[in-house]
């Protein structure tokens, strides 16, 4: 009887690090359609609740959508045709958007940082909600578009200006032209039509905003 109790206690202790790892790394909160998880050279079809690890790459197809939860400190929603690399998801959070669009909602960071990179752009926050679209090529280099729903996001292009930062506030949007020039923050009427919802029980989490329409609007603006 006592030996059995010791075995159960030892098993519980051995399992504790694994539970902690899941809490640190995050997990898949919701998904639909074509979603692939790339890990250590392997392609995995993920499911609800699957643990995420540092270095994972999430890819959505034309009908895919996935919402990830990172240690209850934030959520990231990937739209269709999106690729996101989870560079660091334990202490400070760092992700890289390779293509497509993501909604990011950060809260309870506890002094930690969240950085989202897209090409030459770096967006740094400490608690906010913003949308990033990457991959539309207007000039020689792809552009990046970003708007803020809540809070403030500091945007920089270190390769061009290592010490410069543009603050984008609630209700404002910017475009990083050809990965080099940050336009002045301003309000865009159509950004109010973006679907910021990340709770499937509260309604649809899908967003059907046309990326082409976003760029048509931006191209109509004279930035000179």
More confident residue, 118 or 89: 118
Residues 26, 89: Cα–Cα separation, whole Å: 7
3-state class percentages of the chain: helix first, strand second, coil last, to nearest 5: 20, 45, 40
According to DSSP, residue 186 is labeled B
Q: Are 123 and 146 in contact (CB under 8 A)?
A: yes
Query: Into how many domains does the chain fold?
Result: 1
* 215 — pLDDT class (breaks 50, 70, 90): low
Q: What CATH code is carried by the domain that includes residue 35?
A: 2.60.120.1440
- The answer to whether residue 224 is domain-embedded is no
Q: Please name which of 30, 11, 7 lies closest in space to residue 19, comparing C-alpha atoms.
A: 11
110 pLDDT tier (thresholds 50, 70, 90): low
Q: Residue range 32-51: average pLDDT?
A: 97
Mean pLDDT for the chain overall: 83
> 146 falls in which pLDDT band (50, 70, 90)?
very high
Residue 16 lies in a domain: yes
Range of the domain at 89: 2-219
């Amino acid at each position: 009887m006592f030996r059995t109790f010791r075995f159960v206690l030892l098993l519980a202790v051995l399992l504790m690090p694994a539970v902690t790892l899941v809490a640190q790394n995050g997990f898949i909160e919701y998904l639909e359609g074509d979603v692939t998880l790339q890990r250590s050279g392997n392609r995995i079809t993920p499911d609800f609740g699957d643990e995420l690890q540092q270095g994972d790459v999430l890819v959505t197809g034309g009908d895919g959508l996935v919402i990830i939860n990172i240690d209850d400190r934030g959520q990231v929603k990937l739209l269709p045709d999106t690729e996101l690399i989870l560079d660091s998801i334990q202490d400070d959070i760092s992700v890289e958007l390779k293509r497509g669009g993501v909604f990011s909602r950060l809260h309870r960071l506890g002094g930690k940082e969240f950085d989202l990179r897209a090409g030459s752009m770096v967006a740094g926050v400490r608690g906010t909600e913003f949308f990033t679209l990457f991959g539309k090529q207007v000039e020689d280099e792809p552009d990046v578009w970003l708007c803020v729903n809540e809070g403030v996001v500091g945007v920089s292009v270190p390769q061009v200006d290592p010490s410069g930062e543009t603050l984008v506030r609630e209700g404002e949007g910017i475009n990083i032209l050809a990965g080099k020039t940050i336009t002045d923050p301003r309000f865009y009427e159509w950004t109010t039509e973006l679907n910021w919802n990340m709770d499937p029980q509260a309604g649809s989490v899908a967003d059907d905003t046309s990326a082409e329409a976003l760029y048509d609007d931006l191209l109509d603006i004279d930035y000179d």
